[in-house]
Structure 1
Amino acid sequence: MSYAEINGLSLYFEGHGSGPGEPLVLLHGGFGAGETFAPVLPALAEQRRVVLVDLQGHGRTADIDRPLRPELMADDIAGLIKHLGLGRADVMGYSLGADVALRTAIQHPELVHRLVVVSTPARRDGWFPEVVAAMDRMSAEAAEPMKQAPVHELYAQLAPRPQDWPVLVGKIAELKKQDYDWTSEVATLTAPTMLVFADADAVRPAHAVEFYALLGGGEHDAGWDGSDRPAARLAILPGATHYDILHSPLLARMVVPFLDAPA
């Protein structure tokens, strides 16, 4: 358990596991912390070093005077990979953390060996319309009622300044109103990428397929021997939603073989 001074942040991280596999950086979702990966951490860390990170303003990482943006947080993760001397690392993120993981691979391709994107779209309208509408309604005023939610309990337990909860809610509300479309950049990714969605996700299934196609997947038959299989992978986990996908027993079972696959 330690901190790295990166881009004005005291960025919290902790290491788990060891082994011959490429190191893996895990990035949590909005309002979360590294602890949210507890259901899958043992399997992921069995054969590799895993680095859990608390993103800006989340968990044990104190906020700074900077908006929450995946592009900025991606630079933080790149700085951490360099700080730890990992060379190239696998990067896996969920929801907001998946945005950051994706931007890290786009902005710093030389640092990302393999990429796992869990439950986030490549552009804003990839979310269901009702999800976008809820994002548009969100504001800092939600901070007080959200204190009844488990995410606040985790924040209050870990944050250096628990009284900054309304600041985090306000910053995420502002972030979620931002329009974005990363599809053209996704098409240029060089790191082998796996997309993971729930079968009852907040991301539209049609967009999940479109996202996969941007990576060269689903364009043609792989051939009887699989020789034309794309480097990208797509997994749809049954019986899961956007909100509980990290608890799916299938998640690690899908991801580990992808991370262990030969180049």
Structure 2
Amino acid sequence: MKRSIFKAIAGALFIAAAIPLAHAQDAAKSAYAEVNGMKMYYEVSGSGDPLIVLHGAYMNIPSMGKIIPMLAKNHQVYALEFQGHGRTNDIDRPITYANLADDTAAFMDAVGVKKADVFGYSMGAGAGLQLAIRHPDKVTRLVAASTAYDAEGFQPEYKAFIPQMSVEMFVGMPFAQEYRKLAANPDGFPALVKKLIALEHEPMAWGTDVNAVKAPVLIITADADVTTLEHSVALFRLLGGGAMGDMGKPLSASRLAVMPATSHTAIIAQPELLEAFVEPFLKDETPKGMFQ
């Protein structure tokens, strides 16, 4: 049973990593920034207010798919590749959500972006949430697609799977070969897997910190996600959401969206639906009710 869960998750990761890069992304400008001892690879596309895009674990800019060029229609998108991912080199340091957030803040300083909207998916969403906690002056609005704020919010099947993770499980998967195509160190995949497994064991209980976040947050979750729906609702309530509208008070600045018939890795494969949630939030647009 546990092995079949692993095969399903690993296969889904490969599918996510294999999402083709949209042709519009070919116009992006690429560069490296010196960030905390790394040469961090990034791409800039579009024009408008800055929007930082943060990818998930085992991913890179291409595997984020069409959502980047779609967002670039209305924003200047800065898509970066985290430590040990894509074309960014690994360093002698663990991968933690705090480190990822601090790297993002340092990246913004390096490229001259004082404050920006942020879109994060999976691990990138956790990094975005930590960015809003640790560097609140840098985040205007945050889109957090498929994230947790407490380890107790993961689905029971996933919590049972985490202790079974091993480097050997991942190095034989097809996306291990995909890693070599872009990696600064083509032989660095086992070391990356070891760090990402350690990240899964990182203590996560951010409730008090999340409750203090001032930036509006759009939580996007799948109805069959790695976290429970109850956890996403609890996160929404921590951010001030969940009260009744139409009672004369303004709606919460934060929002919650649930994608139907969708698993964790299928979120990023639906860019049109994502864009339909993200753009009104970033523009601070809300549907008008009959009492308005």
1:152 aligned onto 2:176: yes
Would you say 1:9 and 2:38 are equivalent positions? yes
Q: Of 159, 179, 190, which aligns to 1:166? A: 190
Report the alpha carbon displacement of residue 165 of structure 1 after superposing the two structures with TM. Answer: 0.8
The Cα shift of 1:241 comes to 1.0
Choose from 101, 109, 117 the match for 1:74.
Answer: 101
The equivalent residue for 1:130 is 157
Query: Is residue 2:81 matched to residue 1:45?
Result: no
Structure 2 equivalent of residue 196 of structure 1? 220
TM-score (norm 1): 0.93
For 1:256, the equivalent position in structure 2 comes to 279
**Alpha-carbon shift at residue 259 of structure 1 (Å):** 0.8
What is the Cα-based RMSD across aligned positions, in Å? 1.5
- TM-score (ref. length: structure 2): 0.84
CA distance in 2: counterparts of 1:204 and 1:135, whole angstroms: 16
Which aligned segments of 4 or more residues in structure 1 are displaced greater than 3 angstroms? Answer: none
Q: Which residue of the partner structure matches residue 142 of structure 1?
A: 169
Matches within 5 A, 1:89-100: 89-100=116-127
Aligned residue type for 1:246: I
1:243 to 265, 272, 278: 265
SS at match of 2:268: helix
Confirm or deny: 8 A CA contact 1:221 1:228 kept in the other structure: no
Match of 2:25 in 1: none
The alignment partner of 1:160 has SS state of: coil
Unaligned runs of 5+ in 1: none
Q: Deviations over 1:15-63 (max 9, x none)?
A: 01113xx211111100000112222122211011001110001000010
Query: What amino acid sits opposite 1:157 in the alignment?
Result: K
CA contact 2:223–2:259 (8 Å) conserved in 1? yes
Q: In the alignment, is the contact (CA less than 8 A) between 1:29 and 1:95 conserved in 2? A: yes
CA contact (8 A) 1:32 1:154 kept: no
On the 8 A contact 1:24/1:90 being kept in 2, the answer is: yes
Residue 90 (structure 2) pairs with residue 63 (structure 1)? yes
Q: Percent identity?
A: 39
Aligned partner (choices 202, 210, 216) of residue 178 of structure 1: 202
Q: Please report how far the alpha carbon of residue 7 of structure 1 lies from its aligned counterpart in structure 2 after TM superposition.
A: 0.9
5+ residue gaps, structure 2: 1-29, 286-292
Q: Deviations over 1:162-213 (max 9, x none)?
A: 1111111111111111221011100000111100001111110111100100
Which whole-Å CA distance do the structure 1 matches of 2:277 and 2:65 have between them?
A: 17
Cα distance in structure 1, aligned partners of 2:178 and 2:124: 17
- Determine if contact 1:28/1:95 at 8 Å carries over to the other structure: yes
Distance, in Å, in 2 between the alignment partners of 1:37 and 1:169 is: 19
Q: 1: distance between equivalents of 2:77 and 2:213?
A: 23
- 2:255 is matched with 233
CA distance in 1, matches of 2:102, 2:69: 27
